[in-house]
Structure 1
Amino acid sequence: MKLSIIILNYNVSYFLKQCIISVQRAIGNLDAEIIVIDNASVDDSCAMVQRDFPNIHLIENKENVGFSKANNQAVAVAKGEYLCILNPDTAVAEDTFLKCFNKVVTLPTLGVLGVYLLDGTGNFLPESKRNLPKPKASLLKLLGFTKKYYATTISEENEGEVAVLVGAFMFLKRSVYAQVNGFDEDYFMYGEDIDLSYKITQAGYQNYYLGSTETLHYKGESTQKDAAYLQRFYGAMQIFYKKHFKTTIFLDVTVKVGVALAKLLKTKNISKNRKKIADPSQAIVVTDNFSLLKELSAVIEKPLKSVSKSVFQDGSVYNTLVIFDASYIPYTQIFQVMRQYKNMGNQFRIRPPGCNFLVGSDQSDNKGGVVLFGELVN
């Protein structure tokens, strides 16, 4: 088998369904398998996979064992020569896996391959490519200074060697994963991808960023989780430094003070920094399905009109709620439109193929929401 796609899920049933559908499209004729491992979700994630995707290998954990341990469980049963570690709140472009394979054959010492990640607003996610988070860079990142933390020397659409790739999308050989003993299970959440990236480079491989294919990632910690995120981030970095770097009492104290200061600044600036989402003046559905338009009209407050893909050719779409019917327009084109029309007052929603729901997010630090329509509303 050529590829095993591993999706670790926790309570995001609708996003997981879109992820699986997009992955199935992207697999094409590849000899591949999808493994979903669930960390004791309390929503209907497992029931949905069993009902809608009976041929997918589903692993149901009875408790939340964390990111590292769960992914290691799934890799242990994977059969593919290559692995793709993938978040459930993602959607891949139809050409993503093909482009990854086309690139890896040119990189004989490849460790992990990462791709261009965009958020629900169409904006690039800088964690797609990162530098090694040395103590000073991590401290500055907590305080809001991210220049040294992210790999800005490589442009978003370019490609090149980077130190660290993000766990939302990691493409690598299963043999390399096994050689470095996979994800370190001392990390429960955050830091696992940094640690794996570093172990792989220490083993003599090169991590690589590929900006020519996209993956949508509805990511982020909400405002209410800022303090908890900072604590988890610091805890993960502390584990990382103790494992791989020489730490000192002075360094430990400095980072602790920095985390406390960052928490204080976050708390004071939450309401100030939170973006206000403007209400779009119009709404369109990119579809050729008039039955879908009728169903959506029952749940969308604004008047809807259907449009073809050609509406985006003249650059005149702004202040608009744009609903993409992924049965009509492929994810590759959806991502291109989102990137082209970002920061123009537009909001984007996707109706995954054959589904009675929309998914979307209007802020990069918000995991997104779901709108049900049709039969699922009743």
Structure 2
Amino acid sequence: MKVSIIIPNYNTWDLVKRNITACLKYDDDLIEEIIVVDDCSPTLNYIHFPSKVKIIRNETNLHYTKTVNIGLKNAISDILVLLDSDAYPTKPFIKDLILQFEDLNIGCIGFKTINDLGDDSGNFMYFPSAYGLIAGQQIHKFLKKYDRRRNRKIIPFSCAVSFRKNCLKDLNYFDDYFPVLDADIDLCYRIYESKWKLIYHPEIEIYHVGGNSIPKDSKRVLLFYKSRWQLLKKFHLIPFPIITKSLILSRLLLETLIIKLKIILYTDIRPYYKLKLKGRKELIEMVKHFN
């Protein structure tokens, strides 16, 4: 049995080369193909790849989810490995992966990711709740360690994960209603609700620290809130939508007042806080239209 590796790319050809080189170095004999789906990068491919590497180029920019689905649907193997362009293996892993997939009920296996020091860089989360949106990302990061919900569902991120193709076919792949964020959370939740099993296998380690795909700015914050609201709404996990929206808006308005105060106090970095204020106002207007 061999696997297909899928790598989405947007203008990160050097990272793609590093990823492919590492994959072939450790597991060439167990790799059927490597599919790179280029999301209409402004820079065309200038690297000569081995023959088992297939390049698919989108004619227009389709964003992450549709790009990944193209690669997954075109793959010919029963086991599919999805890696971000800036991820790469640091040792052989496919033999172990194939052994895990001998359990025919398993549809998805998540991997551990590590940083430059070999420490866990965090490649999973637990399924979110509306409380995260109410508290905000920073406060929720602090409070989530006290989350004692039973039967919390572990969600491996799509930067380093694997699937059985029949599982993806059954569930119709990633939902491109989520163009960038939360498509992996949505798919994992649907796997849990299906006949398929999902496991997290930390014995497989992939290097990945992130930060090369989505800019961390106000647009990302807008995208996060929109995607997360729609995700929770899809699975009926917003028990009181009007109250939840009001609580989110109350927190955002308080944050806006704090930012305005900082604009007055910190004159040397005033442009930074003015930009944050603009982003908060845009976010408030968007949240007002949540339903």
TM-score tier (shorter): 0.7 to 0.9
Are positions 1:4 and 2:4 aligned together? yes
1:159-187, CA deviations, whole angstroms, 9 ceiling, x for partnerless residues? xx953110101111000011111000111
CA distance in 2, matches of 1:262, 1:166: 29
CA distance in 2, matches of 1:60, 1:151: 45
Tell me if the contact between 1:82 and 1:171 (Cα under 8 Å) persists in the aligned partners: yes
Stretches of structure 1 that go unaligned for 5 or more consecutive residues are 154-160, 273-378
Output aligned runs, 1:150-169, within 5 Å.
Answer: 162-169=153-160
CA distance in 1, matches of 2:214, 2:164: 37
TM superposition shift of 1:28: 3.2
Report the residue type matching 1:10 in the other structure.
Answer: Y
Output aligned runs, 1:127-142, within 5 Å.
Answer: 128-140=123-135, 142=137
CA distance in 1, matches of 2:153, 2:69: 24
CA distance in 1, matches of 2:258, 2:174: 32
**2:29 alignment counterpart:** 29
CA distance in 1, matches of 2:216, 2:156: 23
**2:223 alignment counterpart:** 232
SS of match in other structure, 2:29: coil
TM superposition shift of 1:59: 0.4
CA distance in 1, matches of 2:170, 2:128: 23
CA distance in 2, matches of 1:165, 1:263: 33
Distance 1:222 1:115, change over 3 A: closer
Output aligned runs, 1:1-378, within 5 Å.
Answer: 2-44=2-44, 46-48=45-47, 51-105=48-102, 107-120=103-116, 122-126=118-122, 128-140=123-135, 142-146=137-141, 162-220=153-211, 225-247=216-238, 248-258=241-251
Report the residue type matching 2:94 in the other structure.
Answer: F
TM superposition shift of 1:227: 2.1
TM superposition shift of 1:232: 1.3
CA distance in 2, matches of 1:150, 1:28: 40
Report the residue type matching 2:120 in the other structure.
Answer: F
Tell me if the contact between 1:129 and 1:162 (Cα under 8 Å) persists in the aligned partners: no
SS of match in other structure, 2:56: strand
SS of match in other structure, 2:163: strand
TM-score by length of 2: 0.77
CA distance in 1, matches of 2:32, 2:146: 31
Distance 1:100 1:134, change over 3 A: same
Tell me if the contact between 2:35 and 2:55 (Cα under 8 Å) persists in the aligned partners: yes
1:345-375, CA deviations, whole angstroms, 9 ceiling, x for partnerless residues? xxxxxxxxxxxxxxxxxxxxxxxxxxxxxxx
**2:279 alignment counterpart:** none
CA distance in 2, matches of 1:151, 1:205: 29
The alignment covers a number of residue pairs equal to: 258
SS of match in other structure, 1:102: helix
Report the residue type matching 2:180 in the other structure.
Answer: M
CA distance in 1, matches of 2:201, 2:155: 13
CA distance in 2, matches of 1:151, 1:98: 37
Name whichever structure is richer in helix by fraction: 2
Stretches of structure 2 that go unaligned for 5 or more consecutive residues are 263-267, 270-291
RMSD: 3.2
SS of match in other structure, 2:201: strand
Report the residue type matching 1:254 in the other structure.
Answer: L
CA distance in 1, matches of 2:166, 2:254: 42
Report the residue type matching 2:196 in the other structure.
Answer: Y
Tell me if the contact between 1:163 and 1:198 (Cα under 8 Å) persists in the aligned partners: no
CA distance in 1, matches of 2:121, 2:259: 20
Q: Percent identity?
A: 21
TM-score by length of 1: 0.61
TM superposition shift of 1:140: 4.0
Tell me if the contact between 2:9 and 2:38 (Cα under 8 Å) persists in the aligned partners: yes
Distance 1:246 1:209, change over 3 A: closer
